[in-house]
Chain A
């Protein structure tokens, strides 16, 4: 009994330590974004919101935010549009090539983006779309289409095939079954997939970075370039930009967590 308690205590202490460090990391950025000047003190002597206006004008954040949202929403739309029918067939049918097809969808999620991003960038630059907004969308879709497929798949599996049979027996054609039966039942799945693809696209760095040109930087890529160029810009203004990015991610994440459990946001091990 005593050893069991010690065990539990150790787990809590470790998690507490990790979470304190994590919150420290996040709140350090937030505090720094509001600091007038901050050097070697636990808290800055004076607070200001000037860095947000500074960041907004100097980093052209209006444009960057617009590009980010445009890319993210296009990716969500396309990933759902082509992932939805594929997930339906994968959930409903059995065919010989299915394991190969599942592997094909699984590989872009398994292989790190940096590994296939460089050949992909080479290819896209060769076809003249590298560095453009279209190039970023095309590249980010590579892992996002499979992600949408794998999120939608279990939702389709939960819908009984009997519903489709009943509808077709009552005279509904394929289009009607889709619109009146499948689509309403799939709304939770579409929302989950859409939100997770959205949050992953906003925070996707590697592919967006390799494909981005001057006018097609997403927020996180712009953030990287400014941290990288450190010293040129005041660190407070970079942190202000990071806070804007954080708010964007957190707002999507908060909505997403109403639909999914945290353990569902990572790979499911028992599938592979």
Chain B
């Protein structure tokens, strides 16, 4: 083993360094360095002496600012739970492939590719008080008053769902259809019912991927910005932490405070990731991937 190691290390020659350097240096210069710089400048407030935690103290003592963390959690967590459970239900049901699968998955790529701005514009029209949905419900006599679905909390949840559900679903579908189907057949042959197969065989195999999908969806929802502005109430019920950071940077021009909020936002996401990774550690990691349908 030790020998193989030294051989491997010797493979990093000048050609390799020459090939890797541009992209690695780019990511370091444009991603790692700004991050460091952000932490550094957040500790150097605009006015006052060098090196102080003033920005962080200001954030955590101002209810207008620190409640954004709660608002963001209240948006991100329920959305993530619903998105992941619905996506798991559907992707599990479709693991053997279903009729029109290619068409369905292609349609689901649409919202991911069109992006959140286009979707939000459509949501404003479609779910608005004069939109098709309300017209339909009013016309069918199900409602007396149109539903208020945009410019509030629900609007942002709708937009997050439209954006994240296809993403999560396609991720899980790719993952679940990669599980060796013979495991399931063996379990069925040994007399396990569908529910037992899911709980005792398939779920433990899906769990590692499911946890990563949960982490990705949660972190993405936690940074929600454009839809919280466009279909939400950016001054009130959907003032998320990224809006707070943006306002400090581009409305107050206090880059130091803005960096502090960005650092806090990053820390919240990091904390969520660590919790999720710790949960994952406790699950057995499967080695049966890659034999199924591709």
Partners in one complex: yes
- Chain A interface (Cβ < 8 Å from any Cβ of B): 3-4, 7-8, 10-12, 14-15, 18-19, 21-26, 28-29, 32, 39-42, 82-83, 85-86, 88-90, 93-97, 101, 104-105, 107-108, 110-116, 118-123, 125, 138-139, 141-142, 145-146, 149, 174, 199, 203-206, 209-210, 220, 223-224, 227-228, 235, 238-239, 242, 245-246, 249-250, 253, 257, 261-270, 272
If A15-B90, A85-B22, A266-B171 touch, whether A246 touches B38 (CB-CB below 8 Å) is no
B255 located at the interface, meaning its Cβ lies under 8 Å from any Cβ of chain A in the complex: yes
Bound CA–CA A108/B178 (angstroms): 26
Bound CA–CA A199/B111 (angstroms): 12
Closest 9 pairs between A and B when the two form their complex, measured CB to CB: A119-B38, A112-B223, A85-B19, A25-B122, A203-B115, A262-B105, A263-B174, A82-B22, A269-B209
Instruction: Contact check, A123 vs B33: say whether CB atoms are below 8 A apart.
Output: yes
If A28-B122, A114-B225 touch, whether A224 touches B230 (CB-CB below 8 Å) is yes
A139 touches which of B12, B18, B30, B209 (Cβ 8 Å): B30
Q: Which of B226-241 contact A (CB under 8 A)?
A: 226, 229-230
Bound CA–CA A40/B125 (angstroms): 11
> Which of B50-58, B59-67, B258-266 forms contacts with chain A?
B258-266
A173 CB, min distance to chain B CBs, angstroms? 12
Instruction: Contact check, A28 vs B131: say whether CB atoms are below 8 A apart.
Output: yes
B166 CB, min distance to chain A CBs, angstroms? 8
If A24-B132, A105-B27 touch, whether A32 touches B125 (CB-CB below 8 Å) is yes
Proximity string of chain B (95-110) to chain A, C-beta cutoff 8 Å, 1 when within and 0 when not: 0001000101111111
Instruction: Contact check, B116 vs A107: say whether CB atoms are below 8 A apart.
Output: no
Instruction: Contact check, B19 vs A88: say whether CB atoms are below 8 A apart.
Output: yes
Chain B residues closer than 8 Å to A174, beta-carbon distance = 15
Please give me the residue from chain B that is nearest to A42 by CB atom. Answer: B135
If A118-B245, A123-B37 touch, whether A242 touches B121 (CB-CB below 8 Å) is yes
Please give me the residue from chain A that is nearest to B231 by CB atom. Answer: A227
Chain A residues closer than 8 Å to B196, beta-carbon distance = none
In addition to A118-B258, A227-B120, 18 A-B residue pairs with Cβ atoms within 8 Å of each other are A10-B93, A11-B93, A41-B135, A85-B19, A93-B11, A96-B9, A101-B24, A112-B219, A112-B223, A114-B265, A115-B265, A116-B38, A122-B38, A122-B259, A142-B27, A205-B115, A210-B246, A223-B117
A26 touches which of B15, B110, B124 (Cβ 8 Å): B110
14 A-B contacts, Cβ less than 8 Å apart? A7-B93, A22-B162, A28-B122, A86-B23, A114-B242, A119-B35, A119-B262, A122-B255, A220-B117, A253-B110, A257-B106, A269-B175, A269-B213, A270-B209
If A112-B223, A249-B113 touch, whether A25 touches B23 (CB-CB below 8 Å) is no
Instruction: Contact check, B174 vs A145: say whether CB atoms are below 8 A apart.
Output: no
Instruction: Contact check, B223 vs A22: say whether CB atoms are below 8 A apart.
Output: no
Instruction: Contact check, A115 vs B266: say whether CB atoms are below 8 A apart.
Output: yes
Classify the secondary structure of B's interface with A: helix
Chain A residues closer than 8 Å to B84, beta-carbon distance = none
Bound CA–CA A152/B121 (angstroms): 34
Proximity string of chain B (62-100) to chain A, C-beta cutoff 8 Å, 1 when within and 0 when not: 000000000000000000000000100110011000100
If A115-B266, A270-B175 touch, whether A28 touches B24 (CB-CB below 8 Å) is no
A8 CB, min distance to chain B CBs, angstroms? 7
Classify the secondary structure of A's interface with B: helix
Number of interface residues of B (CB under 8 A): 98
Bound CA–CA A114/B86 (angstroms): 26
Scoring B22, B23, B28 by chain A CB atoms within 10 A of each residue's CB, the highest score goes to B23
Chain B residues closer than 8 Å to A111, beta-carbon distance = 219, 266, 269
Chain B residues closer than 8 Å to A257, beta-carbon distance = 106, 109
Q: Which of B1-49 contact A (CB under 8 A)?
A: 5, 8-9, 11-12, 15-16, 18-20, 22-24, 26-28, 30-35, 37-38, 41
B167 located at the interface, meaning its Cβ lies under 8 Å from any Cβ of chain A in the complex: yes
Chain A residues closer than 8 Å to B111, beta-carbon distance = 22
Bound CA–CA A238/B178 (angstroms): 43
B114 located at the interface, meaning its Cβ lies under 8 Å from any Cβ of chain A in the complex: yes
Please give me the residue from chain A that is nearest to B242 by CB atom. Answer: A114
A161 CB, min distance to chain B CBs, angstroms? 12
A247 CB, min distance to chain B CBs, angstroms? 11
Chain A residues closer than 8 Å to B187, beta-carbon distance = none
Bound CA–CA A82/B24 (angstroms): 9
Q: Which of B241-277 contact A (CB under 8 A)?
A: 242, 245-246, 249, 255, 258-259, 261-262, 265-266, 269
B157 located at the interface, meaning its Cβ lies under 8 Å from any Cβ of chain A in the complex: no
If A121-B249, A122-B41, A262-B105 touch, whether A29 touches B222 (CB-CB below 8 Å) is no
Proximity string of chain B (181-216) to chain A, C-beta cutoff 8 Å, 1 when within and 0 when not: 000000000000010000000000000010011001
